[in-house]
């Protein structure tokens, strides 16, 4: 019997003015880059959206100098209450321009408009509001290094490098606490998603932020590396892959520069037989198919108790047949485009290794567009812990299902990973939640929910997922001197 079809509900792209080309934002001005330019494309259509300048090492140097000047002349001299005003202003402008930001994010990244509109951009505003609130109360935040009542001291100039999966949100996680604590910033967005960071530069201008307090240098890995090794930077905050995080840690080892590294993950989402199964299925779907699975804390390993495994997989597959995959600008779309051709190739290669190693692949029935980068929601069963799809971060809409019999076995399997960013537990027993949460080596543990983010709550990992926390008072601590 034919089902009801959704009518198309496209968001209009007219709300955003995408310019043909963009420069770097240095010292409060848009300037040319000395290392050519790169093209940023809409991953859903492969249309070139804009040419974006690539910052050379000299450009990075200019940006660091601009940040230093702003730090010394203005920003470090402002009382917290004054800094707070700018952050509140930025937060309010983000809210006012929310639709424009959401559309631009979706065009540049490929994520569904309903996610950029309802998750990314509201959280961006929330991060600025939250940190604005702290700016004049840092004395009482219990931060390291100073006695209560003494003002904590910022590092100075902070270099920040971010990935492409939540471009504007990762910017907010980094810029808001840095400014609240009195640092100035040079930020490098990812090469495939620079546009919302450049729109953010306009928002800084609109908020009247003094020139040089926030500088945006676009480019790829070389630009990031030039920022990391610049001697004028006092602290590095990096979010991205474990491989690059390792290189950064090596570069900074033995220097005075402080670093926080937010890296990859391979989280276990653990479903016990007493869980509310329909609710758990929603959590599994959210855990791995939200943002096309381009989520560092994605619940990419489903551990399900053997007695309910068949039931859970059946319900999950039924639910996945209702997911709408396609045009990210359509308000009914649940799963959008993969961010880049390179990422699509990585996902495809890892999924193929699942077939080759003997796991069983199930793909949600959906029609993928001809143009653009797409990967249908995929579930692997018969997965062994030694399979690559059980060990390596796929960073795409691919779930690996394994089973367990006892809580001990669930725990052992969950912790058998070089990563330790997040985990999920689904059970009706509070005592079991606490027992598991105590023993899971993961920075964030969700119980009967998944992928909940809040600026008040610290986020970060153990082991190869990196070190340092973002969000909450722990996140502020990373931006002040320890002594
Ligand atoms: P990536 O490490 O390739 O790139 C991240 C950023 O680093 C980009 O801006 C890139 O240009 C820059 N970069 C690349 N090489 C560099 C170098 N040598 N020196 C300095 N900068 C360099 O990662 P990606 O593919 O963009 O992002 C995906 C990864 O990010 C995943 O592994 C994911 O788990 C991780 N991630 C982690 C978190 C977290 O909070 N833990 C959040 C989002 C993404």
| Best residue for ligand 1 mutational test, from 166, 230, 241 (most atoms within 8 Å of Cβ) | 241
Check pLDDT > 80 for residue 1. Answer: no
The reply to whether ligand 1 has any atom less than 6 angstroms from the CB of 294 is: no
Q: Is residue 9 part of a domain?
A: no
Using pLDDT thresholds of 50, 70 and 90, give the confidence band for residue 483.
confident
- The mean pLDDT of 148-177, rounded to a whole number, is 96
- Among the options 191, 262, 392, 464, which is catalytic? 262
Query: Can you tell me the distance from the alpha carbon of 347 to that of 359, in angstroms, rounded to the nearest whole number?
Result: 15
The more confidently predicted of residues 149 and 196 is 196
Residue 371: inside a domain, yes or no? yes
Give the residue whose CA is nearest to atom 12 of ligand 1.
221
pLDDT of residue 35: 94
Q: Please give the pLDDT value at position 150.
A: 87
State the distance from the centre of ligand 1 to the C-alpha of 161, rounded, in angstroms. Answer: 8
Nearest to 133 by CA among 91, 70, 183, 171: 91
Pocket test for ligand 1, best of 188, 217, 240 (most atoms within 8 A of CB): 240
Per residue in 352-380, pLDDT tens? 999 999 999 999 999 999 999 999 999 99
60 and 194 fall within a common domain: yes
Give the SS3 label for residue 290: helix
User: Do the domain assignments include residue 12?
Assistant: no
Per the domain annotation, does 63 fall within a domain?
A: yes
Considering the domain architecture, whether residues 474 and 346 belong to the same structural domain is answered as no
Q: Same structural domain for residues 272 and 222?
A: no
Radius of gyration of the chain (CA): 22
Q: Based on the fold, state whether residues 345 and 236 are members of the same structural domain.
A: no
Specify if 195 maps to a domain: yes
Q: Confirm or reject: Cβ of 167 under 6 Å from ligand 1.
A: no
Q: Is the Cα dihedral 41, 42, 44, 47 positive or negative?
A: negative
Please confirm, yes or no, whether 366 is among the known catalytic residues. no
Task: Note whether 335 and 254 are same-domain residues.
Answer: no
User: Is the pLDDT at 134 greater than 90, yes or no?
Assistant: yes
Q: Is 38 in the pocket of ligand 1 (CB under 6 A)?
A: no
Q: Report the atom number in ligand 1 closest to the C-alpha of 465.
A: 41
Q: Can you give the pLDDT at residue 219?
A: 98
Task: Please give the distance, rounded to the nearest whole angstrom, from the Cα atom of residue 421 to the centre of ligand 1.
Answer: 15
Enter the tokens of residue 95: 């809210």
204 in the same domain as 313? no
285-294 average pLDDT score: 98
Percentage of residues in the chain with pLDDT exceeding 70? 99
pLDDT digits (tens, 9 = 90+) for 107-128: 999 999 999 999 999 999 999 9
Which of 123, 244, 395 to probe ligand 1 with, by most ligand atoms within 8 A of CB?
Answer: 244
Q: Whose CA is nearest to atom 21 of ligand 1?
A: 224
Task: Pick the residue whose CA is nearest to atom 8 on ligand 1.
Answer: 190
Same domain as 332, residue 241: no
Residue 356 counted as domain residue = yes
Q: Are 385 and 402 in contact, with CB atoms under 8 Å apart?
A: yes
Of residues 145 and 156, the one with the higher pLDDT is 156
Residue 383: pLDDT band with limits 50, 70, 90: very high
Task: Give the domain range for residue 351.
Answer: 268-447
pLDDT recorded at residue 21: 97
- Centre of ligand 1 to C-alpha 72, Å, is 30
> Residues 412-437: pLDDT tens digits?
999 999 999 999 999 999 999 999 99
**Is residue 410 domain-resident?**
yes
Q: Is the CB of 340 under 6 A from ligand 1?
A: no
Ligand 1 centroid, distance to 159 Cα (angstroms): 14
**Number of domains present in the structure of the chain:** 2
Ligand 1 centre and the CA of 193: distance in Å? 12
Q: For residue 10, is it within any domain?
A: no
Whichever domain contains 121, its CATH number is 3.40.605.10
Is 262 assigned a catalytic role?
yes
- Same domain (yes/no): 119, 72: yes
What are residue 26's phi and psi, to 5 degrees?
-130, 130
pLDDT tens digits for 176-228?
A: 999 999 999 999 999 999 999 999 999 999 999 999 999 999 999 999 999 99
397 and 332 in a common domain: yes
- Mean pLDDT of the region 281-301: 98
Domain check: are 235 and 204 in the same one? yes
Q: What are phi and psi of 165, to 5 degrees?
A: -80, -35
Residues 272 and 255 in one domain: no
Q: How confident is the model at residue 2 (pLDDT cuts 50, 70, 90)?
A: low
The residue from 296, 297, 392, 393 that is catalytic is: 296
What CATH number is associated with residue 422? 3.40.309.10
Establish whether residue 263 lines the binding site of ligand 1, counting it when its CB lies within 6 angstroms of any ligand atom: yes
Same domain, 99 and 152: yes
* Range name among 147-156, 242-251, 281-290 with the lowest pLDDT average: 147-156
Instruction: Let me know: does 363 contact 398? Beta carbons within 8 Å.
Output: no
**Residue keyed to tokens 């009914």:** 332
């Amino acid at each position: 019997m034919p089902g009801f079809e959704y009518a198309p509900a496209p968001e209009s792209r007219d709300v955003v003015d995408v310019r043909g080309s963009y420069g770097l934002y240095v010292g409060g001005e848009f300037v040319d880059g000395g290392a050519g330019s790169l093209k940023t494309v809409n991953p859903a259509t492969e249309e070139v959206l804009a040419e974006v300048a690539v910052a050379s090492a000299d450009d990075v140097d200019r940006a660091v100098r601009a940040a230093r000047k702003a730090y010394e002349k203005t920003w470090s001299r402002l009382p917290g209450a004054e800094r707070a005003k700018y952050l509140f202003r930025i937060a309010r402008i983000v809210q006012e321009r929310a639709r424009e930001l959401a559309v631009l994010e979706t065009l540049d990244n490929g994520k569904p408009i309903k996610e950029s509109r309802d998750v990314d951009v509201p959280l961006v505003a929330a991060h600025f509001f939250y940190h604005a609130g702290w700016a004049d109360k840092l004395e009482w935040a219990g931060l390291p290094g100073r006695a209560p009542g003494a003002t904590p001291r910022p590092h100075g100039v902070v270099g920040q490098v971010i990935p492409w999966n939540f471009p504007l949100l990762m910017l907010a996680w980094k810029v808001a606490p840095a400014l609240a604590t009195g640092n100035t910033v040079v930020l490098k967005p990812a090469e495939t998603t620079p546009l919302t960071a450049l729109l953010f530069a306009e928002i800084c201008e609109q908020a009247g932020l003094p020139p040089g307090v926030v500088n945006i240098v676009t480019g790829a890995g070389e630009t990031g590396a030039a920022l990391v090794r610049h001697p004028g930077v006092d602290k590095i905050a990096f979010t991205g892959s474990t491989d690059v995080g390792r290189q950064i840690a090596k570069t900074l080892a033995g220097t005075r520069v402080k670093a926080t590294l937010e890296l990859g993950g391979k989280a276990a989402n653990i479903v016990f037989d007493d869980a509310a199964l329909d609710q758990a299925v929603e959590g599994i779907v959210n855990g791995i198919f939200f943002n096309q699975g381009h989520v560092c804390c994605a619940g990419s390993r489903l551990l399900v108790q053997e007695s309910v495994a068949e039931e859970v997989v059946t319900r999950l597959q039924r639910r996945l047949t209702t997911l709408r995959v396609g045009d990210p600008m359509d308000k009914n779309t649940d799963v959008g485009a993969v961010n880049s051709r390179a990422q699509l190739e990585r996902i495809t290669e890892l999924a193929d290794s699942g077939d080759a190693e003997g796991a069983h692949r199930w793909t949600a029935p959906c029609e993928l567009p001809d143009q653009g980068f797409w990967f249908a929601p995929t579930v692997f069963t018969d997965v062994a812990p030694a399979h690559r799809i059980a060990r390596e971060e796929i960073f795409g809409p691919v779930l690996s299902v394994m089973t367990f019999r006892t809580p001990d076995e669930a725990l052992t399997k969950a912790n058998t990973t070089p990563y330790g960013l997040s985990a999920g537990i689904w059970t009706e027993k509070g005592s079991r939640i606490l027992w598991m949460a105590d023993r899971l080596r993961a920075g964030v543990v969700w119980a009967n929910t998944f992928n909940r983010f809040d600026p008040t709550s610290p986020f970060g990992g153990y082991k190869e997922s990196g070190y340092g926390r973002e969000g909450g008072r722990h996140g502020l601590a990373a931006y002040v001197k320890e002594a």
